[in-house]
Amino acid sequence: MDKQRIVEKVNQVFEESFEIEKNELAPEKKIFDDLGLDSLDIVDLVVALQQKFSIKIRDDERVRNIRSLKDIYDYITKLGEEGVLPKDGK
Amino acid sequence: MGSKDKLFNLKLIFLNTTQYVIYVLYSLLAIPLATIYVMLKALFSARRSTHRRVRKLIGFWAMGISFITLPFVKVRYKSNEANSEIGACIYICNHRSFLDGFLVAHPCRRREVVQVVNVWPFKIPVIGVIAKVAGYLNVKAMPFNEFSSIAKSLIGNGVSIVSFPEGTRSKGKAMGSFHGSMFRIALEVGCPIVPICISGNEKVLLRGNVMMRPGEIKIHELPALEWNEYKDIAPFQLKIKVRNMIIRELTVMDGGV
């Protein structure tokens, strides 16, 4: 899955699960401060990302270091490089 | 500094000193009397009634504190009469000043309430003990599941909860982002949400300052958001919806529109 597709799918998660407008989803946006998510929303975000990418990330320590949208894009890209993402790219 | 400024500052120091002395005297009189009253009543009544009594008395004491500031600071309330019909609810308030915990006592006066507070109020001598006895919720002292279970039980027993979901005082007029815990609880319990907007308080008591300045504080109680109106909304959207309702009202209250 290429980076552009990952960005699209992550953004879809924010649009569908949190109804955040597309124009607010810039890579530098901080998840807590700019997008308004809180610690409980992060649980929902992880579940939504797991469903969207067919992955299991709940116990991955790296999730704790995510601060911005760009961090999510990079993290999912890294999972792709590690071969964790399904190859069909759905 | 001009002589006019010096005079103003001296007047301010005098007014503040008087004000704080009255607060202390009032509390020194009111708290022991209320404690004796509650303890005597507790001998002949159920634990639940004692809780109710303590919570009501805290509300009266807090209203007294707000009343003492009246010659100095004008407080204007705009209550919502339709809200008197609803049962236990969750009050969602914006938070600009240390005074807010006292100021919300007036709009909440009809109900038995507990506040969701930070760790530090529990550390204040006497007040901390009273807060514990009243069952005030220390949001940082327990995991969400435990907090949620206590909050649900309170609402189930007809106790309303006052919450400041920004978690801390906002820096100026821009409201901080909301934490969603109370909104998740509201969705589960199905109780009304009453937004409370407080404006002008940020000028009366500046962040990090103990010196109060003369001014006007406005408190508006918005119409309750009933469960039927929000039951199909996800917790994140619900907190954004209520936050936007408060922002809209505050913009008008701050003179922005």
CA distance B38 to chain A (A): 38
**Between chains, do A38 and B179 touch, taking CB under 8 Å as contact?**
yes
Write down the domain spans for chain B: 73-253
Mean pLDDT across chain B: 91
Cα A45 to Cα B80: distance, rounded to the nearest angstrom: 36
Distance of residue A55 Cα from the nearest chain B Cα, in angstroms: 23
Asked whether the beta carbons of residue A36 and residue B235 sit closer than 8 angstroms, the reply is no
Report how far apart, in Å, the C-alpha atoms of B1 and of each of B6, B9, B94, B204 are.
7, 10, 35, 21
Asked if A44's CB is within 8 angstroms of B236's CB, the reply is yes
Tell me what the mean pLDDT of segment B7-30 comes to: 90
| Cβ atoms within 10 Å, residue B46 | 9
Instruction: Report CA dihedral (A21, A22, A26, A27) to the nearest 10 degrees.
Output: 110
Range of weakest confidence among A10-14, A74-78, B2-6, B145-149: B2-6
Q: Residue B163: its pLDDT value, please? A: 96
Give chain A's mean pLDDT.
Answer: 90
Q: Which residues in chain A touch residue B240, judged by CB atoms under 8 angstroms apart? A: 19, 36
Please give the helix or strand (H or E) that residue B132 lies within, else none: helix B127-134
User: Looking at residue B104, what is its pLDDT?
Assistant: 94
The CATH number of A3-81 is 1.10.1200.10
CA angle B145, B151, B157 (to 5 degrees): 140
Structure tokens at B95: 């938070």
**Res. B112: pLDDT tops 80:** yes
Read off the pTM: 0.88
What is the average pLDDT across B114-129?
89
Q: Region B191-206: what's the mean pLDDT?
A: 93
Residue A90 has pLDDT above 60, yes or no: no
Cβ-count burial B165-179 (b if 16+ within 10 Å, e if not):
bbbebbeebebbbbb
Task: Point out the residue among B177, B184, B243 whose CB comes nearest to the CB of A40.
Answer: B184
Which superfamily does B73-253 belong to? Glycerol-3-phosphate (1)-acyltransferase (3.40.1130.10)
All residues of chain B having their beta carbon less than 8 Å from the beta carbon of residue A19 are: 234, 236-237, 240
Interface test with B, best of A30, A38, A46 (most B CBs within 10 A): A38
Token pair, residue B94, equals 């914006």
Q: At CA B190, angle to CA B231 and CA B113, rounded to 5?
A: 135
Predicted local distance difference test score (pLDDT) of residue B63: 92
Q: Is B220 helix (H, G, I), strand (E, B) or coil?
A: strand
Q: How confident is the model at residue A3 (pLDDT cuts 50, 70, 90)?
A: confident
The span from the CA of B175 to the CA of B182, in Å, is 17
Residue B62: the pLDDT is 93
pLDDT tens per residue, range B29-81: 999 999 999 999 999 989 899 999 999 999 999 999 888 887 788 899 998 98
Could you state, in order of their start, the residue ranges of all structural domains in chain A? 3-81
What band does B1 get if pLDDT is binned at 50, 70 and 90? low
Q: Which of residues 175-214 of B touch A (CB under 8 A)?
A: 177-181, 184
Mean pLDDT of B115-126: 89
pLDDT in tens, B133-181: 899 998 888 889 999 999 999 999 999 999 999 988 888 788 999 999 9
Q: Does A33 touch chain B (CB under 8 A)?
A: yes
* More reliable by pLDDT, B219 or A90: B219
CB contact under 8 A, B236 and A39: no
pLDDT (0 to 100) of residue B256: 63
Query: B77 - beta bridge partners?
Result: B219
CB–CB of B196/B91 below 8 Å?
A: yes
Segment 53-72 of chain A within 8 Å of chain B by CB: none
| B83 close to A (CB below 8 A) | no
Where does residue A83 rank: exposed (0-12), middle (13-18), buried (19+ CB within 10 A)?
A: exposed
> Is A19 in Cβ contact with B236 (below 8 Å)?
yes
